[in-house]
Structure 1
Amino acid sequence: MELSESAVRDRAREYAASEPLYDVERQHVETVAKTFAGDEYGRRDAQWIVRWYFRRYLGAYPDGARREREEAFRDTDFGDVADALDVAVEAVGAADDATGERAETDDRDIDSALAALTELGGVDVAVASAFLQFLAPERFVAVDPRTWRVLVAAGDLDGDYPDPPSVADYRRFDAACRAVMARTGAEAWTLYRALWRSFAKSADDREVPDGK
């Protein structure tokens, strides 16, 4: 499997044409960063990202594990959620209203965002990376067994998917994603769609994630 520029673009387009959640995902890609950079958002806005992480498997993710995570996040004090989001928004760099450009994010920024988000109930590094993906969709890709395995199959990453991933694991994954983005000229949201679609094209339909 090769993640060439044409392959990434083609598979991202296939994702848009075939994935039932694409339209609502696209809407959130366009709105989440601005929503969380302001003060007028509620628990449901944050819950959507946690739910998305598990429900995009369309029933393949073990229901008990999904419910446990979602309920743990739901039961977290909303003030703590807002505080963590403030840290994450600041760490990844809010886009300038005039230029739309975002400050470069380094490893310390990633560590800061992940540290704040993983203090929340139901949020580990993998789920926290979903917040990063929607807070800065041109920069970050959410890590999961599928995206990880496609990068390994393409030769851009090595090792089995860590269960669960640590901050250091996410840094390795992020570095691999950035290398592919630099090579192909694709933004992270395009790459995410290409990775997810690549797994769908190559994986055994009977394979399901481990629920962790």
Structure 2
Amino acid sequence: MTDASNEIDLTADTIAELSAAYRGEEPLYAVEQEQRETLPDAFRAGEFGRRDAEWVVRWYFRRHLGAYPDRERRAVEERFESNPFDDVIAAITSAADRVDDEGDDAGGDDVGGDDGTEDDGTDTGAVADAIATLTVLAGVDVGVASAFLAFLAPESYPVVSEREWTALRDRGALAEPYPDPPDVDAYRCYRSTCLEIAAETDHSLPAVTHALWRLRSDRDE
């Protein structure tokens, strides 16, 4: 993707305005920000409680404020709660290792080729490995895994759902409709797009996803 911020009219000023609206109007923002500040270290160290992990799954669905089907949401939450907590700890700390490995390997000269990196220098193998360690858990698909990764490494991994994806597609940055559920390749494409927008507009990755959340498709406006 080239000049993404111009293609979808997501300028630095637009992202600033939309992300400010997210901070001011989304009722879950305060606790989300608190968790974003505390969970990365806790997840890496394995020093978190069951409720911390369950909160991420609940946040992923409940931020829709009732728009997500309640029966489906409860079913996913219950499946996740059925996981032995030792397995949850192992999956999250393993994902943290994969995320940190990517950070160690990023920034090389050979990007966008056959070396397993994206054009932005990120390691696609690390992305797949991080997601794979999380999706072994009951109730965790790629979307829910992206929520865990967004709280493990907020500046490297964006959360994905139909709402953010569709905001990009409606503005020309993604070609395909939201794959429900997304697979690893779809997440890589989405992530690369978000990282490019963040770099071009000099905004944080959470600010970009907050702006996408606040956008409405033409049919919703």
Shift of 1:40: 2.3
Is the contact made by 2:22 and 2:29 (CA closer than 8 Å) also made in structure 1?
yes
In 2, Cα distance between equivalents of 1:38 and 1:18:
33
Is the contact made by 1:142 and 1:192 (CA closer than 8 Å) also made in structure 2?
yes
Shift of 1:144: 0.5
Shift of 1:60: 1.0
- Residues 37 and 61 from structure 1, CA distance in 2 versus in 1: closer, same or farther, beyond 3 angstroms? same
Q: Which of the residues 143, 148, 164 maps onto 2:160? A: 143
Shift of 1:192: 1.1
Q: Which of the residues 41, 45, 51 maps onto 1:38? A: 45
In 1, Cα distance between equivalents of 2:47 and 2:155:
23
Shift of 1:155: 1.9
3-state SS, counterpart of residue 20 of structure 1: coil
Corresponding letter in the other structure for 1:180: I
Shift of 1:143: 0.8
Alignment RMSD: 1.6
- Find out whether 1:6 has 2:22 as its counterpart: no
Deviations 1:166-186 (A, max 9, x none): 011101111111111121111
Deviations 1:125-183 (A, max 9, x none): 01000011111111211111110011112222111000110011101111111111121
Shift of 1:109: 0.9
1:156 corresponds in structure 2 to: 173
Runs of 4+ in structure 1 off by over 3 angstroms are 102-105
1:167 corresponds in structure 2 to: 184
1:97 corresponds in structure 2 to: none
In 1, Cα distance between equivalents of 2:198 and 2:173:
11
- Find out whether 1:120 has 2:137 as its counterpart: yes
Corresponding letter in the other structure for 2:13: S
Deviations 1:51-85 (A, max 9, x none): 00000011111011001000000001111111111
3-state SS, counterpart of residue 40 of structure 1: coil
Percentage of matched positions with identical amino acids:
44
Calculate the TM-score normalised by the size of structure 1. 0.88
Is the contact made by 2:45 and 2:93 (CA closer than 8 Å) also made in structure 1?
no
In 1, Cα distance between equivalents of 2:44 and 2:59:
20
Structure 2: 5+ residue stretches without partners:
1-7, 107-121
In 2, Cα distance between equivalents of 1:12 and 1:40:
30
Q: Which of the residues 70, 77, 83 maps onto 1:76? A: 83
- Find out whether 1:88 has 2:95 as its counterpart: yes
Is the contact made by 1:156 and 1:180 (CA closer than 8 Å) also made in structure 2?
no
Aligned pairs, number: 197
1:208 corresponds in structure 2 to: none
